[in-house]
């Protein structure tokens, strides 16, 4: 289900065909589309969420605000906008691992995570994450111990979730900029962990 080095699937080919058709007919400017994608991948994308997480790891007062009112705390860093209005942040601990899914469609917090990955919108992920989350996590390379509770959070149009991953061991005392480089998009969805130093 989750393969970083995959061949484009049927959905990706359809999207490429649709983009080509829209460009040929003059409905879409390919350069504008490239700029939009570039913005979401490199400026808006998971880099924003990584800054939120790193700030929480280095500032206990901010972390408390983030867990209490995710929307307001995220807005403190200037990350607001459509699809990010009602944010709830859930914290991973040694006892609890959180996983985010949207079973009805693909509600996703764009201001902090950027463009949703293809697998997030795929029906197998959306269905199986709720029914068999441990199996899904294993497919992402995550073995979660039987002593760890797995909580699945279903995003909706009203509420979107962001996972606050555990800070990697050995990074105590690091500054927020260095820590942000360890935070992955998958860690903020719950299908991965923050990178080890």
- Tens-place pLDDT, residues 67-102: 999 999 999 999 886 666 799 999 999 999 999 999
The yes-or-no verdict on residue 115 having pLDDT over 60 is yes
Mean pLDDT of 49-65: 98
pLDDT at 3: 42
The yes-or-no verdict on residue 28 having pLDDT over 90 is no
pLDDT at 4: 41
**157: confidence class by pLDDT, cuts 50, 70, 90:** confident
Weakest mean pLDDT among 44-53, 56-65, 155-164: 44-53
Residue 7 contacts by C-beta under 8 Å, 6 or more apart in sequence? Answer: none
Long-range CB contacts for residues 78-84, cutoff 8 Å, separation at least 24: 79/48, 79/49, 79/51, 79/52, 79/111, 79/112, 80/111, 81/110, 81/111, 82/110, 82/111, 83/107, 83/108, 83/109, 83/110, 83/111, 83/160, 84/109, 84/110, 84/111, 84/112, 84/160
pLDDT at 136: 97
Mean pLDDT of 95-122: 89
The yes-or-no verdict on residue 5 having pLDDT over 50 is no
- Active-site positions read 102, 105-107
> Cβ–Cβ contacts within 10 Å for residue 96, how many?
13
The yes-or-no verdict on residue 179 having pLDDT over 70 is yes
Mean pLDDT of 148-172: 96
Angle between helices 30-39 and 10-24 (to 10 degrees): 130
Picking from 187, 152, 149, the residue whose alpha carbon sits closest to that of residue 167 is 187
């Amino acid at each position: 289900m989750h393969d970083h080095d995959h061949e484009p699937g049927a959905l990706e080919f359809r999207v490429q065909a649709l983009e080509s058709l829209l460009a040929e007919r003059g409905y879409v400017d390919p350069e504008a589309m490239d700029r939009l994608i570039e913005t979401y991948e490199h400026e808006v994308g998971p880099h924003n969420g990584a800054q939120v997480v790193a700030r929480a790891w280095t500032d206990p007062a901010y972390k408390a605000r983030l867990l209490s009112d995710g929307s307001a705390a995220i807005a403190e860093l200037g990350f607001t906008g459509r699809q990010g209005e009602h944010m709830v942040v859930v914290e991973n601990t040694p006892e609890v691992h959180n996983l985010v899914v949207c079973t009805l469609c693909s509600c996703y917090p764009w201001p902090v995570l950027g463009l949703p990955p293809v697998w997030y919108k795929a029906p197998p992920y959306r269905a199986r994450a709720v029914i068999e989350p441990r199996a899904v996590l294993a497919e992402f390379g995550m073995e979660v111990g039987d002593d760890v509770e797995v909580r699945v959070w279903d995003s909706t149009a009203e509420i979107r979730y962001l996972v606050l991953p555990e800070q990697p061991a050995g990074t105590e005392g690091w500054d927020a900029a260095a820590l942000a480089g360890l935070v992955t998009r998958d860690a903020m969805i719950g299908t991965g962990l923050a990178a080890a130093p």
